[in-house]
Amino acid sequence: MKKLLVTGGAGFIGSHVVRRLVTRYPEYSIVNLDKLTYAGNLENLRDIENRPNYSFLRGDILEVNFLRDLFQREDYDAVIHLAAESHVDRSLENPSEFALTNVVGTLNLLHVAKEAWKGNTDKRFYHISTDEVYGSLGAEGYFSESSPMDPRSPYSASKAGSDHFVSAFYHSFGLPTLISRCSNNYGPNHFPEKLIPLMIHNILKGRPLPVYGKGENVRDWLYVEDHAAAIDVILHKGKPGEVYNIGGNNEWKNIDLVKLLCQIMDRKLGQPGGASERLITFVKDRPGHDLRYAIDSSRLQRELGWSPTVDFPTGLEKTVDWYLQNKEWLDHVTSGAYRDYYDRMYSHR
């Protein structure tokens, strides 16, 4: 592989994937295609933006003519498709936006890749999905690659729909596709609408820490750099037409995680114990809130040799340290000032 297109590469997971590919494979050309919505931030990639094997292209996967022209001009060896609307709460407010970006946008990419690659099976169309397509687990058991899809939110329904289209293009047209489904990611550069960065941000601002219901929902947490490493392995070693689950084997109840985060923040900020925990506020549970997710990633570990390397206490400490050391970034993404950076740095490109 020589030329890779990463969609959504300015987002949280995407920026870590782009950074890993750019630094590990200097002989590759990595093109980052991103619309730069509120969650896409080129400041996430400042440290590599001048690397000779990296380039940024602003564009929308809903613009099929733009994509067709791009694929006709450039001979991409692989597409790593991360561009998506991803926040469940936002999907409850605007399901149509999620259907357009996540389903229609993916379908556009599949169409233009099929046209441009003309049956070349050495290419790779790699679609990044989520464990949320499987629905909700009870107190026991794990999601495997053969678990049936049972999405409960507009977000997970849109991702399940895009998964089905990716699979259909493999079976119907022979497009060499890959799909991976990961558990909840955490780490640096995460936009502060998701649980961990939201709690960190609100503690810093002295704001309430909203926890849905009684905080008993369980999630499996995966450090984002471990996810990027898994994507790297699947891209290079995965078998076309297959699905791979990526999990951290690291389950936490939301309330226990928030309390642990409060303890870490109090220690880091030199506050008395319990200061942050007093900010916890239980709020009405959101509709269709899945009780538990847990991923069985044994196939990925067994067949491709990947395993998570960052334990949760270490990863959480690293995450908190990053936000404390990058308060300016946090202020930018929550104030809208970062858009001036985009216009100043990239409007001419």
Is-catalytic flag, 75? no
Of 54, 134, 142, 155, the active-site residue reads 155
The active-site residue, picked from 34, 43, 85, 132, is 132
Report the candidate in 77, 67, 149, 80 with the shortest Cα–Cα distance to residue 109: 67
Based on the residue annotation, tell me whether 343 is a catalytic residue of this protein: no
Which residue in the list 34, 43, 85, 131 is annotated as catalytic?
Answer: 131
C-alpha torsion angle, residues 285, 289, 294, 295 (rounded to 10): -140
Q: What angle do CA 333, 19, 311 make, to 5 degrees?
A: 85
**What's the N-to-C CA distance of the chain in angstroms?**
26
Q: Across-strand partners of 55? A: 31
As given in the structure block, the two tokens for residue 221 are 């947490």
**Can 132 be counted among the known catalytic residues?**
yes
Name the token pair of 253.
Answer: 């109840």
- Give the CA dihedral 164, 106, 131, 221, nearest 10 degrees: 170
225, 182 contact by CB (below 8 A)? no
Residue 220, Cβ neighbours under 10 Å: how many? 24
Please identify every residue annotated as catalytic: 131-132, 155
